[in-house]
Amino acid sequence: MSSAVRRAVVGASIGNAVEWFDFAIYGFLATFIAAHFFPAGDDTAALLNTFAIFAAAFFMRPLGGLVFGPLGDRIGRQKVLAVVILVMSGATLLIGLLPTYTSIGVAAPLLLLGLRCVQGFSAGGEYGGGAVYLAEYADPERRGLTVTFMAWSGVLGFLLGSVTVTVLQATLPAAAMDSYGWRIPFLLAAPLGLVGLYIRLRLDDTPEFTALRTRADIARRPLYEALTTSWRPIMSVIGLFLIFNVGYYVVFTFLPSYLIKTLHHSKTASFVSITLASLVALILILPLAALSDRIGRRPLLIAGSAGFIVLAYPLFLLLNSGSLVAAIGAHCALAAIESVYVSTAVTAGVELFATRVRYSGFSVGYNVCVALFGGTTPYAVTWLTANVGSVIAPAGYLMVAAVLSLGTVLTLPREAGPSPGDLP
């Protein structure tokens, strides 16, 4: 990997890691946020309101994609990536500085909602932009490995967030954690974001976009062009990322609480389980991405989706066996299956679009899928678990999503790859 590509990988990945760091800390600090930003008296209602604000950010992501995607296709990938990390980090910092409900009343949750929406809006330009940037910088023979640093850095950011919160809770007295400790992770996102901004400002734009600008071939209305000429790839991305998102949010968001609330394991056991599952993903994703550069994207996409179809139910039976060791093993196995699919899905998605509309097209498809099937998955699976059954519901949800994504994979070209003249 050349020094230019390494700089591109670091610049693109750090913003994505910050995004997932923020995602993790909000979830792990939900009880503190509920206590400080909503009136006392009904803890359950406060917690539900906290998660409702959390979900609102996901519904802002398509709007962010509609704004930042076309902007990236008009003025360049590097400039937009610099803007989105600044906006995202600034909003995260402000959450850490917000006055509480006891200080300013109803304005506190309203400001929290506004800042979460800003975060979701900026995230709408982050993941798609980073993936496109890496795809257009990568050596064609190592594109899978290069692009998949986006997925890898997301898992890393999530793990760092959960570890940060856990360490603070273990080292600070309960009163200190409740008073100011919960703010520390949000404040940490600011220096991380500034480092990412510094790196991104020093990057050049991608060779593909530079060549497009040199030829004066930049789309004047990239969003319109993407929606009218690339609607099939956009729909393919939505289907492709269905099990990507459902699997991700089941493994990394739903299962930690499932281990505690449904299976009645301790918080420590849940932390150990999610940490080991995250480490499994971190170990597997990049080698599998490199494998996709040798054997193609489709075999891994088929293997990952088929893995969920065949193994989701028996693994949930194992989770419910009563053995903590078996439950952690099943959690790690689900993370491994998710890693197989994640390792190549992002690359397969960005390869479907021509350079002129790649940022717009991929961002629209990806963010629509995240809004519909990302933030809603923990809520949907929790509701189904309570009303259908603790084994059938989450396994069935995974299996249905995997069947739909497998159907999409089978409609892709035999080897999903670049359009003629793009991504040489």
The residue with tokens 């076309």 is 70
Q: What angle (nearest 5°) sits at the alpha carbon of residue 300, between those of residues 258 and 257?
A: 5
Q: Identify the pLDDT of residue 403.
A: 98
Q: How far is CA 338 from the centre of its chain?
A: 13
Q: How confident is the model at residue 111 (pLDDT cuts 50, 70, 90)?
A: very high
Surface-to-core class of residue 421, CB atoms within 10 Å of its CB (0-12 exposed, 13-18 middle, 19+ buried): exposed
- At 106, which helix (H) or strand (E)? none
Distances (CA, A) of 398 to 64, 133, 262: 27, 30, 18
Q: How confident is the model at residue 420 (pLDDT cuts 50, 70, 90)?
A: very low
Residue 248, SS3 per DSSP = helix
Segment 410-418 shows an average pLDDT of 67
> What is the spatial distance between Cα 64 and Cα 369, in angstroms, rounded to a whole number?
13
Q: Which residues contact 329 (CB under 8 A, 6 or more apart)?
A: 318
Q: Identify the pLDDT of residue 261.
A: 81
Q: How confident is the model at residue 121 (pLDDT cuts 50, 70, 90)?
A: very high
Question: Mapped to the 3 state alphabet, what secondary structure does 189-245 carry?
Answer: HHHHHHHHHHHHHCCCCCHHHHHHHHCCCCCCCHHHHHHHHCHHHHHHHHHHHHHHH
Q: Are 165 and 185 in contact (CB under 8 A)?
A: yes
CATH architecture of 3-410: Up-down Bundle (1.20)
Segment 177-197 shows an average pLDDT of 89
Segment 352-365 shows an average pLDDT of 93
- Where exactly are the structural domains of the chain? 3-410
Q: Identify the pLDDT of residue 383.
A: 79
Look up residue 19 and give its two tokens: 């995004």
Segment 230-238 shows an average pLDDT of 94
Given a cut of 90, whether residue 362 has pLDDT beyond it is: yes
Q: Which residues contact 175 (CB under 8 A, 6 or more apart)?
A: none
Q: Which amino acid is present at 112? A: L
Q: What's the whole-number average pLDDT of the chain?
A: 89
Q: What angle (nearest 5°) sits at the alpha carbon of residue 366, between those of residues 360 and 368?
A: 95
Q: How confident is the model at residue 421 (pLDDT cuts 50, 70, 90)?
A: very low
Given a cut of 70, whether residue 29 has pLDDT beyond it is: yes
Q: Identify the pLDDT of residue 417.
A: 46
Q: Identify the pLDDT of residue 315.
A: 96
Tell me the percentage of the chain whose pLDDT exceeds 70.
96
Mean pLDDT check: name the lowest of 90-94, 155-159, 355-359, 387-391: 387-391
Q: How confident is the model at residue 418 (pLDDT cuts 50, 70, 90)?
A: very low
Give the pLDDT confidence of 268-298 residue by residue, as tens digits.
898 899 999 999 999 999 999 999 999 999 9
Segment 387-407 shows an average pLDDT of 89
Q: Identify the pLDDT of residue 42.
A: 67
> What is the spatial distance between Cα 73 and Cα 129, in angstroms, rounded to a whole number?
10
Given a cut of 80, whether residue 422 has pLDDT beyond it is: no
352: closest CA among 176, 230, 257, 182?
Answer: 230
Segment 224-250 shows an average pLDDT of 94
193: closest CA among 84, 272, 112?
Answer: 84
What is the pTM for the complete model shown? 0.89
Mean pLDDT check: name the lowest of 44-53, 149-158, 313-322: 44-53
Q: Name the residue with higher pLDDT: 258 or 382.
A: 258
Look up residue 234 and give its two tokens: 């956009």
Look up residue 223 and give its two tokens: 């969003």
Q: Identify the pLDDT of residue 358.
A: 94
Given a cut of 80, whether residue 122 has pLDDT beyond it is: yes
Q: Identify the pLDDT of residue 419.
A: 44
* Torsion angle of the four alpha carbons 98, 24, 151, 212, in this order, in degrees rounded to the nearest 10: -10
Tell me the percentage of the chain whose pLDDT exceeds 90.
55
Q: Identify the pLDDT of residue 414.
A: 60
Given a cut of 80, whether residue 175 has pLDDT beyond it is: yes
